[in-house]
A and B are shown apart, each in its own frame.
Chain A
Amino acid sequence: DTGVSQNPRHKITKRGQNVTFRCDPISEHNRLYWYRQTLGQGPEFLTYFQNEAQLEKSRLLSDRFSAERPKGSFSTLEIQRTEQGDSAMYLCASSPGDRDNQPQHFGDGTRLSIL
């Protein structure tokens, strides 16, 4: 069990640029989640995958945001035309999905800074 891995750890970009983050879940975890955490706040849910299917999306996930999990393993989160308000920590989590109420295991996050 190597844990949830997120890359990069920190991304600095100019406003208007596109960015992509990657998340590698714990091996054999079927469920994968994305959250966003701004300073002084708790994480906010963005989206959730069961294998390759995106089953739930928050209204926070505007049309500039897209997430994929093409083979049911790693996932990517892309933000197009970044804005100042996108500056945040983006957290990925995974869970086994074989039984109900399995805990979500979080990665270290990717911190996005918009200049």
Chain B
Amino acid sequence: AQTVTQSQPEMSVQEAETVTLSCTYDTSESDYYLFWYKQPPSRQMILVIRQEAYKQQNATENRFSVNFQKAAKSFSLKISDSQLGDAAMYFCAYRTAQGGSEKLVFGKGTKLTVNP
């Protein structure tokens, strides 16, 4: 079974600075999808960025980018120019691209605090 590990329970960053959140995963599959979701306090989870495993190019969405290292099974999220609104729980998630399974496998999350 696939597992996702987020080794940083909490992280903090100064406003306007850059922070990187770590995620590793374990799978024997070659084709899959990876996601970062953001869950603000008492608010719904929203997708931040996604990556297809077959793509070598790292995904980027405005201030958010990933460092996808397939061989190392690593998928870190970099947030540039951090803003107060970035404060939230961040979850890394995996989904297979094989066999029609739609389930997302989530890590335990990293709580990001942004200091003014």
- Residues 42-64 (chain B) with a chain A CB within 8 angstroms: 43-47, 50, 52
CA distance A8 to B69 in the complex (A): 41
CA distance A43 to B105 in the complex (A): 8
CA distance A4 to B107 in the complex (A): 23
- Residues 62-116 (chain B) with a chain A CB within 8 angstroms: 91, 93, 95, 97, 100-109
Instruction: Tell whether, in the assembled complex, residue A40 and residue B52 are in contact, meaning their CB atoms are under 8 Å apart.
Output: no
CA distance A104 to B46 in the complex (A): 9
Instruction: Tell whether, in the assembled complex, residue A56 and residue B50 are in contact, meaning their CB atoms are under 8 Å apart.
Output: no
Which single member of A33, A40, A106 contacts B108 (CB below 8 Å)? A40
Interface residues on chain A, size class = 20 to 34
A residues bordering B, Cβ < 8 Å? 3-4, 31, 33, 35, 40-45, 48, 55-56, 58, 91, 95, 100-101, 103-109
Given A42-B91, A101-B97; A108-B43 close (CB under 8 Å): yes
Which single member of A40, A41, A45, A91 contacts B103 (CB below 8 Å)? A45
Chain A residues whose CB sits within 8 angstroms of the CB of B93 once the complex forms: 42
Nearest-neighbour CB distance to chain A for B100, whole angstroms, equals 8
Chain B residues whose CB sits within 8 angstroms of the CB of A42 once the complex forms: 4, 91, 93, 106-109
Query: For residue A32, which residue of chain B has the nearest CB?
Result: B102
Which single member of A4, A56, A106 contacts B102 (CB below 8 Å)? A56
Instruction: Tell whether, in the assembled complex, residue B50 and residue A106 are in contact, meaning their CB atoms are under 8 Å apart.
Output: no
Nearest-neighbour CB distance to chain A for B15, whole angstroms, equals 26
Chain B residues whose CB sits within 8 angstroms of the CB of A55 once the complex forms: 100, 102
Nearest-neighbour CB distance to chain B for A37, whole angstroms, equals 8
CA distance A58 to B4 in the complex (A): 17
Which single member of A4, A45, A105, A108 contacts B104 (CB below 8 Å)? A45
5 pairs from A and B in contact (CB 8 Å cutoff)? A33-B104, A35-B104, A43-B106, A91-B45, A104-B47
CA distance A108 to B42 in the complex (A): 8
Which single member of A35, A40, A58, A101 contacts B33 (CB below 8 Å)? A101
Instruction: Tell whether, in the assembled complex, residue A103 and residue B50 are in contact, meaning their CB atoms are under 8 Å apart.
Output: yes
